[in-house]
Amino acid sequence: MVGESTEEVSRADEVEHAAGFDSELRRLDVVFQGACDVQARDRVLDVGCGAGQTTRAAARAAHEGRALGVDVSAPAIEQARGLAAAEGLSNVAFERGDAQVHPFPHGSVDLVISRFGTMFFHDAGAAFANLAWALRPAGRLVMMVWQAGDRNEWDVAIHRALAGSDRPIAAAPAFSLADPSRTTEILAAAGFVEIAFTDVEEPVCYGPDVVAAEAWVRSFTCTRALVERLDPDSAERGLARLRETLSEHQRDDGVWFGARSWIVTALRG
C-alpha cells in the first residue's frame, strides 16, 4: 500500500497469516483441545502460539492457573496480547522468544502444548530438552504435528499442481516430526517417557472460495519456494493447475483438503 513501510506490510502479513492459520485448523483444533485436557489449576506453556488462540483456550480452562504463549513473531504476540485483553483474560501472558533457547524457569509448568509449533526447531533435541526443563516431574507434553506429506492430500495436491505430477514431491520442514520412531527417539533423549501417538484425520479449510484459497496457499513458505524455482512459463502453468485443483475441492462451506496429523503425548521423566 502507498505510504506503508516494508516493515509495516510485513507485520500486517504476519498478523493476517496467524488469523488464517486459526481458521484453516478449526476442525483440528477441536481434537487438539480435547487432547490437551487442561485442568483448572494447570500452569500451561504454549509453544509457537501464533495469535494465541490455543493459549487463550488454555487460560480459560486453567481458570485457577495460568497460561504463557511463546512465539518468534513479534506481530503475532502483539495481536495475541490484544485479543486476550479484549476477552478480559487476566491469567494469560505472551512473550516473544524461541522456545528452543528461551530461559524458562526450571519445573515452572505442568503442561506444555503446541499445535503445529514444534516442527521448525533448528535443533529439535535441544528444544525438547529445554521444554522438559520447564516441566515439573511427570508434567505433560501434548503436541499436534503433521504426518508425512504423502498422507496429506493438501501437500500432495499443491506440489503436483505447481511442479507437475511427473516430478517428485520434496519433503518439507513441516513434516520433520512425522516419523513416530524418529520423534520418539528425540523425545526420549530429551527426558520424556510414555510417548504415544494418536492418528487424527480431519480436513483443513483454505478459505471460502478459490480466490481466497489461492491467496492463502501462495502465502505458504513451501509454495513460494516452489514457484521461485520455476521459470515464468512453468510458474504460470503451475498456478493455473493450482486454481483448477482448488476449484475441484470447493464445497458449499469452503475449499477443503484431506489432512492427517498426530497427537503426540508424553510425560517428563
pLDDT tens digits, one per residue of 98-120:
999 999 999 999 999 999 999 99
Determine the pLDDT at residue 222: 82
**DSSP SS3 for 92:** strand
Determine the pLDDT at residue 4: 38
Determine the pLDDT at residue 223: 87
User: To 5 degrees, how large is the angle CA 91–CA 93–CA 99?
Assistant: 130
Could you give all domains of the chain from N- to C-terminal order, each with its CATH number? 6-148+173-207+256-268 (3.40.50.150)
Determine the pLDDT at residue 173: 84
Integer Cα distance of 227 and 125 in angstroms: 32
Determine the pLDDT at residue 53: 97
Determine the pLDDT at residue 109: 98
Determine the pLDDT at residue 15: 55
Integer Cα distance of 62 and 91 in angstroms: 8
Determine the pLDDT at residue 16: 59
Determine the pLDDT at residue 148: 95
Determine the pLDDT at residue 68: 98
Integer Cα distance of 47 and 100 in angstroms: 10
Q: What is the 3 state secondary structure string of 34-90?
A: HHHCCCCCCEEEEECCCCCHHHHHHHHHCCCCEEEEEECCHHHHHHHHHHHHHCCCC
Determine the pLDDT at residue 9: 38
Give the pLDDT means over successive 10-residue stretches in the chain (269 positions). Answer: 39 58 92 98 97 97 98 95 97 96 97 96 96 98 96 93 64 89 98 98 96 94 86 92 97 96 98
Give the residue from 124, 237, 220, 133 showing the smallest Cα distance to 179: 124
Residue 183, all three cell numbers: 520423534
Determine the pLDDT at residue 13: 55
- Strand 192-201 and strand 260-268: the pairing is antiparallel
**Alpha-carbon dihedral of residues 28, 107, 192, 66, nearest 10 degrees?**
-10
